[in-house]
Structure 1
Amino acid sequence: MTIASTSLNAHERLKGSLGLCSWRAGWRSLLLRAYDEPEEVNDLVTAPTSDQLIVLVTNGSCHIEGRYAGRWHQSRYGLGDIGMTAPGEEVQLRWHKGSGLQTLQLHLSSSTLADVAHLDPTRVGNTSLPNQLVRPDPVVAGVMLGLRRAAQTGASELHAETAVTFLASHLLQFHAGRHPPAHAAVDDRRLLIVDSWLRESLDKQVTLDQLAAAAGLSKFHLLRAFKRRYGETPGQRLSRYRLEEGRRLLSSTRQTITVIAFACGYENATHFATAFRRMFGLSPTEYRRSVR
């Protein structure tokens, strides 16, 4: 999973103000950026890259036009709408009547799409994704918003890698005309190995490649089987285990919150506190006071 250098430099052509960037969080399996967009843009030509670009409107609206395949397309761009630019494509854009427009822009590497396509030989069909000026997709929107929250709270690379593999599978199935594979059972013992690995890796970085190798499964099959068995992805389960361990340490030790954050795999106390409050409804300090 390698993001193209042209994707890393794509912001140089954009008109918006860059906010969040997942690269700063240390993620390398995808590139997610947030922008505050101007109200009007008369001429913007996107940088061609080998990665698939997905743009989600997270706030506001505008009237947008895009030129590709030799002609202009136009639409109203609003909250939850998604646009896509296929790998290698250069798209001319312009918009007006913008109001509070904010976007999330996700670069998904072509190698990720190819890996997911090749992981399951029962899948057939075209793997190319189209240029689409506007197409709502609540699944894609949900994944991108979840990735934004994860980047803000310092989630691990495993979380990002898990999400992007699922997203690639979804795009291939619903946006490239591919067909879902036949159901295949997975021995629960393999999933128990993965679960045990997660429990023992609270203070370590864990990759999807490591988990898949331990289970003897492809990444795609591991994600599908794990979610079916446990109702959550490996990344979500690891986050929960870390926060539950943090809660235990807060109630049973006098360690500082910073020390506990590091012990639970978080880069700093702020990220730990944000994730802790989201799960338990209290800050670490508030929780510690409530149990003493």
Structure 2
Amino acid sequence: METIISSLDAHKHLRATMTACSWRAGWRSLLIRAYEDPAEAEEFVTPATRDHLIVLVTGGSCDVEVRYRNGWQHAHSEPGHIGMTAPGQAATLRWRGNTTHSTLQLHLPGATIERVAREFRRKGPAAPTLPSGLGSSDPLVSQLMLSLSAAFQESAPDLYAQTAGEMLAAHLLVRYGRYGEPHYRNASDGRLRKVEDFMRENLASAVSLEDLAREAGVSRFHLLRLYKKLYGQTPLKRLTFLRMEEAKSLLKDRNETIPTVAARCGYENPSHFATAFRRVVGVTPRSYRR
């Protein structure tokens, strides 16, 4: 069983110099700190906490390796990249770069995640589970962390942190914790389940609104109304979202070329795929793979 420490003591186990801390500014709803990290660090362990840790690179770059329970992960970290460590997980780290680099580290309380998850309970698993990993990009998380860093240094009240923390927990649960799946309640929604299954089975094929309406057994206009009500978006935008989720999964396999990934996600033209991917995910397919 992992040894659990307080997030307040996490800095004692790092190979970095803390330069700012929200706790000292009176915030208690979440903890965010700024660090300056050396150019290189030999292998060391950061113990588990009860909070979800998010690390945002804000300056410099390095080649970093981290080991969780499922083995080593490798990435080239640069500004805008994030890494996450789930509650209850320790991590073994090492990195190498040419210069020092800076990071923001946010500890989101597990209690906050649990509280928000209860609001999603009918749309997600019984217990919230968030992933550990590094080297990804999430523009919303990055911008929110930068805003929180500026806010506590400008003496914003803890209410700011509390509100931002709940919003961040909701985003993490929906995007990474499988809490974004729809909850079907009636016959009309059951038709959408059929459409969802059809979309997932035909991500590589050309799919029109007419095809989806035919699958649901309703008119195109009625299908648009149903999707707007349940998802807040059109069926084709939902299809694009599902394709990008599939693309993110495929891009993790370096044996898959980007044109092949594009084709498997319904795009004959790789440049059209890259444009759509960047619009939905926030970075290019090549950057996401790195």
TM range (shorter): 0.5 to 0.7
Match of 1:175 in 2: 176
Pair 160,96 (structure 1): closer, same or farther in 2 beyond 3 Å: same
Q: Show structure 2 runs of 5+ residues with no match.
A: 184-290
Question: Given residue 86 of structure 1, which amino acid in structure 2 is its aligned partner?
Answer: A
Match of 1:285 in 2: none
Match of 2:96 in 1: 96
SS in 2 for 1:50: coil
Identity, % of aligned positions: 45
Q: Return the alpha-carbon distance in structure 2 between the equivalents of residues 70 and 172 of structure 1.
A: 21
Q: Return the alpha-carbon distance in structure 1 between the equivalents of residues 106 and 153 of structure 2.
A: 15
Question: Given residue 31 of structure 2, which amino acid in structure 1 is its aligned partner?
Answer: L
Pair 174,16 (structure 1): closer, same or farther in 2 beyond 3 Å: same
Match of 2:8 in 1: 8
**Runs of 4 or more consecutive aligned structure 1 residues displaced over 3 Å after TM superposition:** none
Q: Return the alpha-carbon distance in structure 1 between the equivalents of residues 170 and 120 of structure 2.
A: 10
1:155 to 2:156 alignment: yes
Greater Cα offset, 119-128 or 27-36: 119-128
Q: Check whether the contact 1:84–1:134 (CA below 8 A) recurs between aligned residues.
A: no
Q: Check whether the contact 1:117–1:123 (CA below 8 A) recurs between aligned residues.
A: no
SS in 1 for 2:61: strand
Q: Return the alpha-carbon distance in structure 2 between the equivalents of residues 111 and 123 of structure 1.
A: 19
Pair 168,12 (structure 1): closer, same or farther in 2 beyond 3 Å: same
Q: Return the alpha-carbon distance in structure 2 between the equivalents of residues 48 and 108 of structure 1.
A: 13
Q: Return the alpha-carbon distance in structure 1 between the equivalents of residues 181 and 154 of structure 2.
A: 33
Q: Show structure 1 runs of 5+ residues with no match.
A: 183-292
How many pairs were matched up?
A: 179
Q: CA deviation at 1:100?
A: 3.4
Which digits, 9 at most, give the CA deviation of each residue in 1:8-54, with x for residues without a partner? Answer: 00100111110110001101010000000000001121121111110
Question: Given residue 170 of structure 2, which amino acid in structure 1 is its aligned partner?
Answer: S
Match of 2:74 in 1: 74
Q: CA deviation at 1:70?
A: 4.0
Question: Given residue 76 of structure 2, which amino acid in structure 1 is its aligned partner?
Answer: R
- Aligned runs of 1:40-59 on 2, under 5 Å? 40-59=40-59
Q: Return the alpha-carbon distance in structure 2 between the equivalents of residues 55 and 152 of structure 1.
A: 18
Question: Given residue 162 of structure 1, which amino acid in structure 2 is its aligned partner?
Answer: T
Q: CA deviation at 1:174?
A: 0.4
Match of 2:244 in 1: none
Question: Given residue 164 of structure 2, which amino acid in structure 1 is its aligned partner?
Answer: A
Question: Given residue 75 of structure 1, which amino acid in structure 2 is its aligned partner?
Answer: A
Question: Given residue 150 of structure 1, which amino acid in structure 2 is its aligned partner?
Answer: A
Which digits, 9 at most, give the CA deviation of each residue in 1:52-92, with x for residues without a partner? Answer: 11000011100001112342211100100000011111111
The alignment's TM-score, normalised by the length of structure 1, stands at 0.59
Greater Cα offset, 115-124 or 100-109: 115-124
Q: Return the alpha-carbon distance in structure 1 between the equivalents of residues 121 and 72 of structure 2.
A: 37
Q: Check whether the contact 1:64–1:74 (CA below 8 A) recurs between aligned residues.
A: yes
Q: Check whether the contact 2:120–2:179 (CA below 8 A) recurs between aligned residues.
A: no
Match of 1:133 in 2: 134
